[in-house]
Amino acid sequence: MKLNGLRIDVSQLRRKLTTIQKEVRAEQFRPDILKYVGVVLNTAVKTTPARSLSLIQAAQRSQYDNRINYIPSVHELRDPTLIVKPDGMWLYCSGKWWKPNSWNVPPDVWSTFERLLSEHLRRMETSKEDFVAHRAQARMLYKLSWVQCGQSIGIEVNAPSGVTSATSRRQPPKAPPRGYAQIRGGQNVISVVIYNPFINDDSTYRDWDGEEIIQSALELHKPAHLARVQKHLQHIIYAVMHS
């Protein structure tokens, strides 16, 4: 008597496993990881504090005074430079200091004074209130940096218009470093790396840690992400095993 049924044949399973190894690539999980990144960035936008409006207003009031009273700039003494003070105006020109509103000065120095005075008056056409209000939208720049990270890899991050329209109002114009992301791999591993240099720049406007914000968002959405990946993997294996 010969009982041929008392055996286990794993040859078909091995062939299926070989097929899975050949056909399953990390790139197939791109939608899953991009969805994960999307919800993480959405949360980061919501939980990142806006810049303090009172601090911005105080800083901009000071900047306004410097902007109208130091021509062309308060940041460096150029030749020529006009400085407006309560006791009068001072002109630095041709390596000398002049007080053109009370001293007799050479014609070329007076011409320079008139040119800088015209710029001083032009800048004063904008009131301090309008100047400060125009720059208040910069308080949303930290939130905007997360939106930029998503945009760089084609993810639309949900953010109110006040965030997406935020712009730097520095004079001269100088936008903060943009946030961005990179998608890496695709065969055995796929990953997304997020770079946001602006979120951790030294600033008087920030007393919180940007790394903590993004890590908290990652942990919050990690269980749902892993469950989604597991379900996707099961569907792939099922399709191969029943092909």
Give the H or E element holding residue 91: strand 88-93
As a whole number of angstroms, the distance between CA 8 and CA 198 comes to 61
Closest CA to 146 of 138, 136, 158: 158
Q: What is the C-alpha to C-alpha distance for residues 141 and 161, in angstroms, rounded to an integer?
A: 12
Give the number of other CB atoms < 10 A from CB of residue 29.
Answer: 19
The dihedral built from the CA positions of residue 97, 102, 108 and 113, taken in this order, carries a sign that is: positive
User: What pLDDT, on a 0 to 100 scale, did the predictor assign at position 16?
Assistant: 74
For the chain, the distance separating the N- and C-terminal CA atoms, rounded to the nearest angstrom, is 36
Q: Positive or negative CA dihedral for 194, 198, 203, 207?
A: negative
Please check whether residue 43 is in contact with residue 221, taking contact to mean a CB–CB distance below 8 angstroms: yes
Predicted local distance difference test score (pLDDT) of residue 11: 75
Nearest to 194 by CA among 215, 219, 165: 215
User: Over its length of 243 residues, how does the chain's per-residue pLDDT go in tens digits?
Assistant: 455 556 666 677 677 778 777 778 889 999 999 999 999 999 999 999 887 677 777 877 888 899 999 999 998 999 999 999 988 899 999 999 998 866 678 889 999 999 999 999 999 999 988 887 766 667 888 999 999 999 999 999 999 888 888 887 655 456 788 999 999 998 889 999 999 998 877 766 677 788 999 999 999 999 999 999 999 988 888 887 777
